[in-house]
Amino acid sequence: MSAYHPLTEAEAIEYARRLPDLFHAESELVSREIGDGNLNLVFHISEPSTGRSIILKQALPYAKVVGESWPLTLDRARIESEALMIQESLCPDLVPHVHVYEPDLALTVMQDLSDHVIMRRGLIEGNRYPLFAGHIGRFLAHTLFYTSDLGLNQQEKKERVKRFINPELCKITEDLIFDDPYTDSPNNNVPPAIRDAVGAVWGDGELHLEVAILRQKFLTSAQALLHGDLHTGSIFITQESTKVIDPEFAYYGPMGFDIGAVFANLLLNFAAQEGWSADEASRRDFRAYLTGTIRDTWNNFEREFRRLWDAHGVDRMSRTAGYQDYYMRTLLQDTFGFTGAKMVRRVHGLAQVADINSLTDEAAKERAQRIALSIGTTLIKFNRQASSIEQLIEIADKAVQ
């Protein structure tokens, strides 16, 4: 089984059986295709007699969310497995372990995390994760610092930049996040109820200027090895544990893009509380939990990032007085902008989010969409003035007053 073809459930079992040291040669294995993302096949392989299990993730040569008319490189499986291995070397407890990467089949064999839930689903169900802000703040600080020119020899970093050129997946982001939502593109899925608000986005020149500047950063700023798609559907979670998955969009880009992805998806859930919370008091309470998580994430990230810089910085010039403060302020501003851009694309772009789209009360859904657009566009317009994470929370709170 060497030439590439999409595996069937039976072939996935056959493949798993041949992996060394995982399953008994003769025992029964069960295979289920459980992929519900936009791009890949995901097989859950289990051995009922021992309770052992693994995940086989296979890239398809096209974007599953659209179909075979949208071809997509299989090299993203290499990018994903290499990014996971780098992340594991930096934060071993915060990513799944990769057992094997099989290039011919664009297949990654990794730790099964079925005892966790996808964070987006967990938040929709109203669960809270008190350790998340600490975990994700550390993940962001370590993965961004140690892959940047601050924490990695600059020649080695450039070798990494070469390995993580990811043009096809970046093109998806460039189009779906930094272009389509700002024009009447056939890629958009505009909810008819908010056609007026979307039209305002299409006609807003001040907004477009800020998006063009953010887009330029996404295109040109090779600051650190990003996860590249760090939404709450890329996070497996329990009360005790956080695991970041799916870095197939990894590339060298601006750090604020990853931090903004986390904040945007917490704020999309914040907007969606229009429909998920039973009453005004619980809505306010859950929203305060979400904004508190944003505050704690930023503060944990900033503290740890500055500590790593002071203790492990490899660049003499980065110790220049005032430079660290300048860097952190610019990073906060980028985070505001990318948070906004990642929100807007999920309201009327191609790929939207279940937090809002699975609301069954149409009036609540419309309110949530308008709130998300309002927070997103305000953050984008304000990004270059930002000086404190509290301003992001104020913008969110004001949109629901």
> Which residue positions form the known binding site for substrate?
229, 345
Residues 238-267 close enough to bind ligand SR1 by CB under 6 A: none
What number of chain residues touch ligand SR1 (CB under 6 A)? 9
Binding residues: 40, 57, 229, 246-248, 345
Nearest approach, Cβ of 119 to ligand SR1 (angstroms)?
14
Annotated binding site for ATP: 40, 57, 246-248
Looking at the Cβ atoms of 287 and 348, the one nearer to ligand SR1 is 348
Residue closer to Mg ion (CB basis): 351 or 380: 351
Q: What is the DSSP letter of 296?
A: H
Which of the listed partners (Mg ion, ligand SR1, none) does 351 bind, with a CB threshold of 5 to 8 Å by partner kind?
ligand SR1
Q: Which does 65 bind (CB under 5 to 8 A by kind): ligand SR1, Mg ion, none?
A: ligand SR1
| Binding pattern for the stretch 19-58 against Mg ion, x by CB under 5 A and - elsewhere | ------------------x---------------------
59, 63, 201, 267: which one contacts ligand SR1 (CB under 6 A)?
A: 63
* Separation CA 182–CA 202 (nearest Å): 5
Distances (CA, A) of 102 to 59, 60, 78: 11, 14, 9
Q: Is 304 in the site for Mg ion (CB under 5 A)?
A: no
- Give the residue, chosen from 34, 65, 85, 219, that forms a contact with ligand SR1 under the rule CB under 6 A: 65
Q: By C-beta, is 79 or 172 nearer to ligand SR1?
A: 172
Q: Among candidates 309, 314, 237, 297, which has minimal Cα distance to 261?
A: 297
Q: Taking the complex as a whole, how short is the minimal distance between the CB of residue 349 and ligand SR1, in angstroms?
A: 8
Considering only residues 80, 246, 258, 302, which one is a binding residue for Mg ion as defined by CB under 5 A? 246
Note whether 269 and 396 are within 8 A (CB). no
**Residue 247: closest CA among 164, 369, 342, 323:** 164
Is residue 394 within 8 Å of residue 225, measured between CB atoms?
no
Structure tokens at 197: 């608000």
* Contact yes or no for 290/271 (Cβ under 8 A): no
Choice between 37 and 137, CB closer to Mg ion: 37
> What is the spatial distance between Cα 87 and Cα 68, in angstroms, rounded to a whole number?
31
- Hey, which bits of 115-211 come out as E strands? 117-118
* 88/260 Cα distance (integer angstroms): 22
User: Using a CB cutoff of 8 Å and minimum separation of 24, what contacts does 176-180 make?
Assistant: 176/345, 176/349, 176/350, 176/351, 177/218, 177/341, 177/342, 177/345, 177/349, 178/211, 178/214, 178/215, 178/218, 178/341, 179/215, 180/345, 180/349, 180/350
For position 211 contacting ligand SR1 by CB under 6 A, the verdict is no
Q: Quick one: which segment of 170-178, 208-216, 329-337, 393-401 binds ligand SR1 (CB under 6 A)?
A: 170-178
What does the alpha-carbon distance between residue 58 and residue 320 come to, in Å, rounded to a whole number?
Answer: 46
Of residues 106 and 371, the one with the C-beta less far from Mg ion: 106
Nearer to ligand SR1, 73 or 330 (CB): 73
The tokens describing 102, both together, are: 């099989």
Minimum distance of Mg ion from residue 233's CB (angstroms): 7
Instruction: Calculate ∠ Cα 165-171-176, nearest 5°.
Output: 140
Q: Is 229 in the site for ligand SR1 (CB under 6 A)?
A: yes
63 contact choice in ligand SR1, Mg ion, none (CB below 5 to 8 Å, kind-dependent): ligand SR1
Chain residues that interact with ligand SR1, rule: CB under 6 A? 38-39, 63, 65, 172-173, 176, 229, 351
